[in-house]
Amino acid sequence: MQTPTNLVKEEGQQSSNCCAPSCCGQESTGSTARESVTLSAVATPDAIKAQVKEHYAKVAVESTSCCASSCCGQEPIGSQLYDGDSLALVPVEAANSSRGCGNPQEIAALKQGEVVLDLGSGGGLDVLLAARQVGPTGFVYGVDMTDEMLELARRNAAKMGATNVDFLKGHLEDLPLADNTADVIISNCVVNLSPEKENTLSEAFRVLKPGGRLAISDIVVDGDLSGLPVSEAQIRSGLSWAGCIAGALTVDEFTRLLIEAGFEGIEITFDHHYQAADFLGQVPDELASLPMAVLTDLVQRFGSASIKARKPS
Ligand SMILES: C[S@@+](CC[C@H](N)C(=O)[O-])C[C@H]1O[C@@H](n2cnc3c(N)ncnc32)[C@H](O)[C@@H]1O
């Protein structure tokens, strides 16, 4: 199978070397950014989800077309998150549709026979990689709300001949799984997209078995968004939800929500802090007019983090 070189982690490279715009949104500046300003200013949870769904439906469709790969001179992912040997094991369309910001497999340390759930499974890359790690005695569920992504993931699983996986349609905030189902929950750059994170984390807690672990990658704010010449509300409303930035939690908020959901043993570690250059093509006009020093300060507060927690036994 073909391996997309831009997903391949090179020797000595950080695992979360993803630039934020291409992690999730891969959007250009201009009309998309301005639309999201308008949307965010009035956004309800349903409106945010509709925006996110529309965006990822497009990603799913494009990932099977020429423009998903470097044939159009465009990097589909822009990150080196996985080692090439792993990627060679999955259909190229799974890798092309990936919009992660880290590598949950590395965080999760999966074992043979485990039952895994991937929150926001997209085109199935993390599910298919996890399926190989848990082996025939294990099982991996992917949950996603976007039909186009589910169809793509099911096609990718069939291509790979994976029989220990299932892709379920559903929302993170109301998971279509019974209590105490999974040994491990993984997720790659999706919790930030949920407009109702309390529900998402309490649902994750519910479907984990006692003693089960959460092992996810996400974009998180290191510190807070205070002390800037624009308010946090202006910053968040000026950024796109689909780009995985507007809904990013701070470390303190993430920790609090995990504790409130019932988790223990919480660890949040930054793998990569973003740089202004990562965001410049993405920043909407409202924020792009900020002095470069301010913009740099703002952008560096966001990073890709590994988040671990445990459901008490
Ligand atoms: C950033 S992509 C990540 C996909 C995959 N984990 C990867 O690494 O490529 C986000 C995926 O999460 C799904 N998603 C976002 N918010 C969701 C929600 N609230 N409920 C269910 N799926 C959601 C989207 O449809 C999309 O497929």
pLDDT of residue 73: 37
Q: What is the mean pLDDT of residues 23-32?
A: 43
219 CB within 6 A, ligand 1: no
Domain ranges of the chain: 5-108+187-310
- If you measure from the C-alpha of residue 143 to the centroid of ligand 1, how many angstroms do you get, rounded to a whole number? 8
Q: 12-21, 58-67, 178-187 — which is least confidently predicted?
A: 12-21
Q: Which of 66-70, 250-254, 275-279 shows the highest mean pLDDT?
A: 250-254
For range 43-47, the mean pLDDT: 87
At 140 the pLDDT is 98
The residue whose CB lies within 8 Å of the most ligand 1 atoms, and thus the one to mutate among 26, 56, 140, is 56
The CB of 8 under 6 Å from ligand 1? The reply is no
pLDDT for 232 equals: 86
In short, whether 145's Cβ falls inside 6 Å of ligand 1 is yes
The one-letter code for the residue type at 221 is V
Ligand 1 binding pocket includes 148 (Cβ within 6 Å): no
User: Is 101 touching ligand 1 by the criterion CB < 6 Å?
Assistant: no
Ligand 1 near 48 CB (within 6 A): no
The pLDDT of residue 242: 65
Q: Is 94 in the pocket of ligand 1 (CB under 6 A)?
A: no
Q: Which atom of ligand 1 is found nearest the CA of 99?
A: 9
Q: Who wins on pLDDT, 33 or 298?
A: 298
Q: Is 126 in the pocket of ligand 1 (CB under 6 A)?
A: yes
User: Which structure tokens are listed for 29?
Assistant: 């500046």
In angstroms, the CA 274 to CA 255 distance is: 21
Q: Give the model confidence (pLDDT) of 56-100 as tens digits.
A: 999 898 877 654 444 333 343 334 678 777 788 888 888 887 888
Q: How far apart are the C-alpha atoms of 292 and 155, rounded to whole Å?
A: 45
Mean pLDDT of all residues in 132-146: 97
Predicted confidence band of residue 253 (pLDDT cuts 50, 70, 90): very high
First-last CA distance in the chain: 41
pLDDT tens, residue by residue, 211-228? 999 999 999 999 999 998
Query: At a CB cut-off of 8 Å and minimum separation 6, what does 54 contact?
Result: 242
- Which pLDDT value is given to residue 169? 98
pTM of this structure: 0.87
**Which residues share a beta bridge with 168?**
143
Mean pLDDT, residues 131-156: 97
Ligand 1 centre from 137 Cα, in Å? 26
Give yes or no for residue 98 CB within 6 A of ligand 1.
yes
Closest by alpha carbon to 308, among 178, 208, 170? 208
Which of 35-44, 97-106, 123-132 is the least confident region? 35-44
Indicate whether residue 189 lines ligand 1 (CB < 6 A): yes
List CB contacts of 312: < 8 A, sequence separation 6 or more. 210, 211, 262, 264
What local confidence, expressed as pLDDT, does residue 32 receive? Answer: 38
Sign of the CA dihedral 159, 160, 161, 162? negative
Q: 70 alpha carbon to ligand 1 midpoint, in Å?
A: 23
Mean pLDDT of the chain: 82
Q: Choose the weakest-confidence range: 40-49, 69-78, 196-205, 296-305.
A: 69-78
Give pLDDT, residue 233: 83
Given pLDDT bands bounded at 50, 70 and 90, which one contains residue 24? low
Ligand 1 centre to CA of 120 (Å) is: 3
How far is the centre of ligand 1, averaged over its atoms, from the C-alpha of 194 (Å)? 9
